[in-house]
Structure 1
Amino acid sequence: MMNTILRHIKIVACITVLCSSCSTIDYDDTNENPNGPTSAVTSQLLTNALTSIPDIVVDETPILYMQHITEGQYPGASRYSGLTYSYDGWYTGALQDLNEIIAINSDPETAEDVAVYGANANQIATAKIIRAYFLQYMTDRWGALPWSEAFMGIDNPQPKFDTQESLYDFMFAEIEDVLATIDHSASGPSGDILFAGDMDRWEAFANNLKMTMALRISDVNPSLAKTKFEETVASGLLVMDNADNIEYHYGTDDASDSPWMDNFRTREDYILSRTMVESLRDNMDPRLFEFAVPARDSISTITNFPGGIDAEYVGAPNGNVNGNVPSYSFIASEIIYEPDYPSPIYTAAQIKFALAEASMKGWNVNGDAATFYEEAISASMEYWGVEATDIQSYITAHPYAGIATIAYEKWVALYLNGPEAWAEWRRLDAPALTPSSYANDPRIPVRHAYDASISDNNAANYQEMIQFQGPDNLHTKLWWDVN
């Protein structure tokens, strides 16, 4: 009995000692990483958001729709097989990063802390410009989107869809705000992998984005389009020379290299479309030899160039199972094999074709349509390394003749810039592209449908969206696509 009592006394004593010892230990920082940030690092948020730009400039699906390229033995998008597409990654990724940058720099309680990463006004301006750029890509892809009620988390898990018109109004307002608040006397944002904090370049980006948006709505709201477009011309900040092209520059390591190199690292899925190759061949366009490389295992039965120098350039049927890919031309070697070959965002050719169309509409753009048209072709060919004599010969043989010539040449000049080529083709309904005969539904899509989860998880707002936008399929035209 005595031994049992003594054991119980010892146990109680030990517990007492342990409890009293615990009360003197401070655990507050046990789970804190002494090497990690204790508040948001806006420079890292900006860098992370900017790394989503390649998802736009190298979006293969619209490039395939536009028949610049097609697929090898595994045709999918070339046959328009994708029926629904999710936008979730944009909301939980890049857009969320940009929203956080804006919020932190706008809040007096946190703005001072993050000023070390660049002037607050310039961090906000940069985030708003990129956010508008991402949003334009998204709305030109899906149409209506959750926006004014989005990003509220559990406070509103079922946001309404805003019309595409209201989204364009929002983007114009954002750009106007940015252009009024950029502070060129203060530091630009840290973490800026696009322009290294150069706010002059960001102001130019904003104006070129605004110009693109203005032309996009020119058929549905011509008065607003004219006003906004002419404002960008007056700014003097449009890309008018290849030296000023706005491009995304990649790194040379696996984490930051070009998506094209990743696409071709272990497989060869993409080859030149017959549509593109034969269009260039028919027009004796010297860009044929710059866009592509000779096929390895076949030659064309049709040649147009002197001496048959185009015989080795062979395009594949769109949507066919083109299993023997060496029988067709690949994309230019430097694009698919150089890890840091840049992707264009806005180019002189693109902008000058826009100016040509605006002049044709009678807008005040300080030039005539024919001159801008010729300068646009020259800019495109110079960008691709075509000789000056060949450029002049081509322009002489293909003079300006109205919107059809602008539409065709713009389609060529936007080679591999899928989202812009797709949007402009939908707006202009030109050039005429023949849908793949191998598709179950032989119609080139004019939008993307929402992921199926939307109709399940946000049913009431989804149905309301269908009422004002139309059926949720690949063939309902967007707000600005009225032709």
Structure 2
Amino acid sequence: MKFKYIPILFSAILATSFTSCKKELADINKNPNEAENPLPDYLLTGAIKSTTDAYWGTNNINSSLLFVQHWAKIQYTDPDRYIFSNTDLQDLWNSGYTKGITNLNKLIELADAQQNTNYRGAAKVLRSWTFLLLTDAYGDIPYSQAIQIKQFVTPKYDTQKDVYFGLLDDLKSAQADLALNGKAIAGDIIYGGKIDRWKKFANALRLRIALRIADREPEKTKAVLAEIAAEGGAYISSNAEIAQLVYVTSPNQNPISNTFDTRNDHRISKTIVDKLKSLSDPRLPIFASPTKDVTPEVYIGVPNGLLTSDANSLGLNKTSKPGTYFLAPSAPAVILSYAEVLFDRAEIAARGLSNEDPAALYKQAIEESLRQYGVTEGEINTYTSLPAVKYNAGNFKKSIGEQKWIALFGQGLEAFAEWRRLDYPELAPAVAGTLGGKLPVRFIYPGREQSLNGENYKAAVAKQGADLLTTKLWFDVK
């Protein structure tokens, strides 16, 4: 499916001085080259692409993929050592608010004007996903007032708990908006307008959030599951229903492919290479590329957080890049997979919140992750029979956490959230890390927030804790 080229509407709205009055701000942000009345399909396409680009792009490649030790740096290793300025982790924030949420708010307005509830439902699902990415990364964020940015140009920060609860309400509302017999939607580069799949995607996100809060608010988790069941809701139920954006060629190529067109400073992490080798995991040649030079091992990962000189000494041609599957221009950017849903259902069962069999769902989750990458059935059977892979009912967080970490390869932001929540796998800090033997557990806020939304920024920091990489977020219990 070809992308439509769109202007990103109102993209300067949060990057402009908030000291002006609202009328002046609105005038400043009018682009004479943009349409006054944008079409909903163009807004939908643009919001999907901009948010997915941010999810798989810079703040994935130079932060979360490093934090969870899927990738490592072999040159310019500061990010791998947890050295960041207050502008290094702003891409997700800037893109999420100025391109994603702003356009999706406008799409909801247009949907209401056109009485097309399916546009409204899809927009709410995507907006919820965007807010979820933001709160998982930063913690307390502008949410309730960010939905009404024209009224609140310096929005307050909501607590992470309130954001999660609000998103669950938004997704429940989206589920009601999405009508199988309703009006058609266009510009949908995820599901091609298939409303039944959007409904499953919405429920899968509700399930994801229900588990985010499970250690803090178990009763709310139970209530969410009961609501979904009462609605007769279904989840993503096959690899054909994965929520993902399949990219095409330049300039609409996968952000990882785009990065490797001009840079050569990332490698696959030694941590995940060693894990995959220890399990004889058939995903190793998919996740990693062979070394360019002949080496004793075909796949060689780089330890995370080396000094630049030590990393350079390993040799660009003697270490493994990520696999060609991920470097291809048309590589899919997975948003939410069938395997993840199965792991989530397995955990729900392990917590005693459903009557399903956690071991069976866990095994099925691994199988579907392998099938997602085209692994043969024989290899799947061999792998799932390994004692080291089998489900451990005495420590479901370890079994699910380690296999989910593998299955989420490439989805650094989601893997980062799940690693913090489940506390598995047990990762060692960067070799030459700068956090006193600790690993990052959040993103720091963009520096602009201190100048453009200073009063609300200070209130958020006073409530949540210091604006540091080591300040734990509300959902991160242990």
Q: Which one of the candidate residues 355, 358, 371 is aligned to 1:369?
A: 358
Which residue is equivalent to 2:301? 315
1:82-231 superposed matches below 5 A: 82-84=84-86, 85-86=89-90, 87-106=93-112, 111=113, 115=114, 120-150=116-146, 156-231=152-227
In the alignment, structure 1 residue 355 sits paired with structure 2 residue 345: yes
> Which moves more between the two structures, 422-431 or 219-228?
219-228
Q: Are residues 1:396 and 2:385 paired?
A: yes
2:264 is the counterpart of 1:268: yes
Q: Does structure 1 residue 40 correspond to structure 2 residue 38? A: yes
1:233 deviates by 6.0
Could you give the per-residue CA deviations for residues 89-140 of structure 1, whole angstroms, max 9, x where no partner exists? 322222111111112333xxxx1xxx3xxx5211111111100010000010
| Pairing 1:437–2:431 present | yes
CA distance in 1, matches of 2:399, 2:319: 28
CA contact (8 A) 1:69 1:270 kept: yes
Q: Does structure 2 retain, via aligned residues, the 8 Å contact 1:83–1:448?
A: no
Q: CA deviation at 1:163?
A: 0.7
The letter of the residue matching 1:316 is: V
Instruction: Output the CA distance in 1 between the equivalents of 2:402 and 2:446.
Output: 33
Say whether 1:55 aligns with 2:61.
Answer: no
1:455 counterpart SS class? helix
CA distance in 2, matches of 1:45, 1:374: 39
Report if aligned partners of 2:116, 2:182 keep a CA contact under 8 Å in 1. Answer: no
| Match runs of 1:12-23 below 5 Å | none
Residue 459 (str. 1) matches residue 454 (str. 2): yes
1:330 to 2:321 alignment:
yes
Contact 2:362/2:391 (8 A) holds in 1: yes
How many angstroms does 1:70 deviate by?
0.8
Q: Deviations over 1:31-63 (max 9, x none)?
A: x99x98552322222211111213114422211
**In structure 1, C-alpha distance between the alignment counterparts of 2:34 and 2:139, rounded to whole Å:** 40
Instruction: Identify the residue that residue 444 of structure 2 maps to in structure 1.
Output: 449
2:472 aligned to which of 468, 471, 477:
477
| TM-superposed deviation, 1:333 | 1.2
Greater alpha carbon shift after TM alignment, 320-329 vs 217-226: 320-329
Within 2, Cα distance between the matches of 1:232 and 1:347?
Answer: 19
3-state SS, counterpart of residue 139 of structure 1: helix
Between Structure 1 and Structure 2, how many residues are aligned?
428
3-state SS in 2 of match to 1:70: strand
Query: CA 1:200–1:151 in 2, change beyond 3 Å: closer, same or farther?
Result: closer
CA 63–227 in structure 1, closer or farther in 2 if over 3 Å, else same: same
For 2:261 and 2:208, the matched residues in 1 are separated by: 34
Task: State the percentage of identical aligned residues.
Answer: 33
Q: For the Cα contact (< 8 Å) 1:298–1:312, is it kept in 2?
A: yes
CA distance in 2: counterparts of 1:368 and 1:96, whole angstroms: 42
Deviation at 1:422, TM superposition (A): 0.4
Kindly provide the amino acid, as one letter, of the partner of residue 62 in structure 1: S
SS at match of 1:197: coil
SS of match in other structure, 1:95: helix
User: What code does the residue aligned with 1:208 have?
Assistant: A
Query: CA 1:422–1:230 in 2, change beyond 3 Å: closer, same or farther?
Result: farther
Structure 1 position 444, deviation (Å): 1.7
Deviation at 1:242, TM superposition (A): 1.8
* CA drift at 1:275: 0.4
1:248 maps to 245
Shift of residue 151, structure 1, vs aligned partner = 6.0
CA offsets per residue over residues 157-190 of structure 1, 9 Å max, x none? 4322111111112111111111112222122322
Q: Is the 8 A contact 1:271 1:330 kept in 2?
A: yes
Deviation at 1:361? 0.5
Q: How far 1:451 moved relative to its partner?
A: 1.8
Q: Secondary structure at the match of 2:385?
A: helix
For residues 428-450 of structure 1, give each alpha carbon's deviation from its aligned partner in whole angstroms, at most 9, with x where no partner exists: 11110011122222422111111
Partner-residue secondary structure (3-state), 2:130: helix
Is the Cα contact below 8 Å between 1:65 and 1:77 reproduced in 2? Answer: no
Q: C-alpha distance in 1, partners of 2:94/2:299? A: 40
Q: Which residue does 1:64 correspond to in 2? A: 66
Superimposed CA distance per residue, residues 379-435 of structure 1 (whole angstroms, 9 cap, x where no aligned partner): 111222222222222222221113211111111111111111100000011110011
What TM-score does the superposition give when structure 1 sets the normalisation length? 0.83
CA contact (8 A) 1:313 1:329 kept: yes
Counterpart AA for 1:458: N
Inter-partner Cα distance in structure 2 for 1:269 and 1:97: 34
| Higher alpha-carbon deviation: 209-218 or 316-325 | 316-325
Deviates more, 1:131-140 or 1:85-94: 85-94
1:299 offset after TM fit, Å? 2.7
Q: Is the 8 A contact 1:187 1:197 kept in 2?
A: no
Q: Distance in 2 between matches of 1:138 and 1:132?
A: 10
Change (3 A) 1:461 1:394: same
Q: Which residue of 2 aligns with 1:7?
A: none
Q: Are residues 243 and 39 of structure 1, via their aligned partners in 2, closer, same or farther at CA, if it must alter by over 3 Å?
A: closer
Which stretches in structure 2 are left out of the alignment for 5+ residues? 1-30
Which one has a bigger Cα radius of gyration? 1
79-88 or 261-270, which moves further after superposition? 79-88
Which residue does 2:20 correspond to in 1? Answer: none
2:239 alignment partner AA: N
TM-score (norm 2): 0.84
Give the alignment's Cα RMSD to 1 decimal.
2.2
Separation in 2, partners of 1:452, 1:260: 26
AA at the equivalent of 2:457: Y
Deviation track 1:238-272 (CA, whole Å, cap 9, x = no partner) reads 123222222211122x2211112111113222211
Distance 1:407 1:36, change over 3 A: closer
The aligned runs of 1:295-310 (5 Å cut-off) are: 295-300=291-296
